[in-house]
Structure formats: C-alpha cells, structure tokens
Amino acid sequence: MSTEPKLVGDDKVMDVRPIPCSIKHGLILKTWRELALGDYFILLNDHDPVPLRYQFEAEFGGMFTWEYVEKGPEDFRVKITKVKELQGNAPVSACGCSAH
C-alpha cells in the first residue's frame, strides 16, 4: 500500500501552492505521466505556470492539452489533459521554475 499523499483531489484539482518549487515541477510531471489516456487534472497555482507549460511542450509536445480555467490575478487553474500515450519511459526533469 502506498504511503504517498494523494496529490489530486476527488474534484480533479491538484493544488500545488504549498509545494516547494524544488519538487513542484517533478510532482506535476509525474502526476501527468500517470494519467490514463484522455484523463486530466486541474492544476491550481498562485502564479501563471508559463515555465511549466514550456517544459511540457519541450518534453511532451502533442501529448497534452493546456486549457486555462482561471487566469488570475490570485489563482491560476489549468486543465491539463493527456491526449497521447508516452512512448518508452523518459526520465522526469528537474524543476524548471524560475519565477520564484
């Protein structure tokens, strides 16, 4: 039985506001990689996650959709959906956030 905390709630929201930047991107990417094809989560952050989007595009271009549900000024919610399966088992990148 896994002792890892549940990162995505029953409402499909992944609230990353309290997560330190040093591990935030890795956890988000891991969560996305583990999604079933066609599934999604809604990322909740306290700033626009543009660096994360660039990282997704660089690593998973064409495999996801990125849809803003709420765009500030305090909260940003982005629906991230897996639209294509990963081929192989590419490593998860380190944190790429430079906004904080």
- CATH code: domain of residue 69: 3.30.110.40
Domain total for the chain?
1
Q: Please check whether residue 96 lies inside any domain of the structure.
A: no
Q: Please check whether residue 99 lies inside any domain of the structure.
A: no
Q: Please check whether residue 30 lies inside any domain of the structure.
A: yes
- Output the tens digit of pLDDT for each of the chain's 100 residues: 455 567 899 999 999 999 998 899 999 999 999 999 999 999 999 999 999 999 999 999 999 999 999 999 999 999 999 999 998 755 544 444 544 4
Q: Please check whether residue 93 lies inside any domain of the structure.
A: no
At 44 the pLDDT is 98
- pTM here is 0.84
Q: Which residue reads 């583990």 in tokens? A: 34
Alpha-helical segments (H) within 1-100: 21-33, 50-60
State whether residue 41 is helix, strand or coil: strand
Q: Please check whether residue 90 lies inside any domain of the structure.
A: no
At 7 the pLDDT is 87
Domain containing 56: what range?
13-82
Q: Please check whether residue 100 lies inside any domain of the structure.
A: no
Name the amino acid, one letter, at 14: M
